[in-house]
A and B are shown apart, each in its own frame.
Chain A
Amino acid sequence: GAVVSQHPSRVICKSGTSVKIECRSLDFQATTMFWYRQFPKQSLMLMATSNEGSKATYEQGVEKDKFLINHASLTLSTLTVTSAHPEDSSFYICSAPASRNQPQHFGDGTRLSIL
């Protein structure tokens, strides 16, 4: 079945560092990928939609200059958290649909901890 790979699984870094998270579709092409964020004991919230070959679409309240998204190919989307601060510590998860009417498949998430 469709597989989405996310890397790294965990990052611990100092405040002010920029962190890049990769999301790859391993056996299908994804023109769209979704980036979610999940705080402790809460549900997943959509941050942005990554579109291959065009600009990402950000949800209200998500700073596009802080959370840079690049969807350079049909199998790779990256999320860069720029100048990360402790309040950016969270669980970041990507997903992609294998095709329009197929269920979405999720990566295993990236646990980001900013000290």
Chain B
Amino acid sequence: DAKTTQPPSMDCAEGRAANLPCNHSTISGNEYVYWYRQIHSQGPQYIIHGLKNNETNEMASLIITEDRKSSTLILPHATLRDTAVYYCIVRVGSQGNLIFGKGTKLSVKP
């Protein structure tokens, strides 16, 4: 049980902002929200993570709702190289491992 719900796929026009939603209504108070992406035939790449506050780094912004039941990853100016599967993860296993769901396949189109 990955504890997150994401749309299976999304399209975005090149140069536009890509907004990827994630529902995590059963998140616990001390669980972080992590976002990773996986480009075809590569290992997952860390993007950003947060607990309560919105976060921004050189790759993306993370907006977490006040009740923490959902979040949105924002890629401000999507490029073709941002085409990937994006995983929203809140659950950490007993060993400290990340538990992956099915993610959202983002296709950035010219």
Chain A interface residues toward B at CB < 8 A: 4, 6, 32, 34, 43-46, 49, 57, 91, 93, 95, 97, 100, 103-109, 111
Not counting A6-B43, A43-B103, a sample of 20 additional A-B residue pairs whose C-beta atoms are within 8 angstroms of each other reads: A34-B96, A34-B97, A43-B87, A43-B101, A43-B102, A44-B44, A45-B100, A46-B93, A49-B95, A49-B97, A93-B43, A95-B44, A95-B98, A97-B96, A103-B34, A105-B46, A106-B46, A107-B43, A108-B42, A109-B42
| A105–B43 CA distance with the chains assembled, in angstroms | 9
| A6–B42 CA distance with the chains assembled, in angstroms | 11
Q: Which of A44, A97, A100 has the most CB of B within 10 A?
A: A44
Residues of A within 8 A of B46 (CB): 103-106
Q: Give A108's nearest chain B residue, CB to CB.
A: B43
Q: Which of A4, A49, A111 has the most CB of B within 10 A?
A: A49
A57 nearest CB across to chain B (Å): 6
A36 nearest CB across to chain B (Å): 8
Question: Number of B residues contacting the other chain (C-beta, 8 Å)?
Answer: 20
Query: Is B49 in the interface zone, CB < 8 Å from A?
Result: yes
CB under 8 Å from chain A, chain B span 53-110: 87, 93, 95-103
- Given A46-B93, A46-B95: A91 and B101 interface contact (C-beta under 8 Å): no
- Given A49-B95, A103-B34, A103-B49: A43 and B100 interface contact (C-beta under 8 Å): yes
Chain A interface mostly:
strand
Q: Give A6's nearest chain B residue, CB to CB.
A: B43
Chain B interface residues toward A at CB < 8 A: 34, 36, 41-46, 49, 87, 93, 95-103
Residues of B within 8 A of A34 (CB): 95-97
A106 nearest CB across to chain B (Å): 4
| A62–B49 CA distance with the chains assembled, in angstroms | 30
Residues of A within 8 A of B98 (CB): 95, 104
Residues of A within 8 A of B100 (CB): 43-45
| A38–B19 CA distance with the chains assembled, in angstroms | 26
| A44–B43 CA distance with the chains assembled, in angstroms | 10
B71 nearest CB across to chain A (Å): 15
B86 nearest CB across to chain A (Å): 12
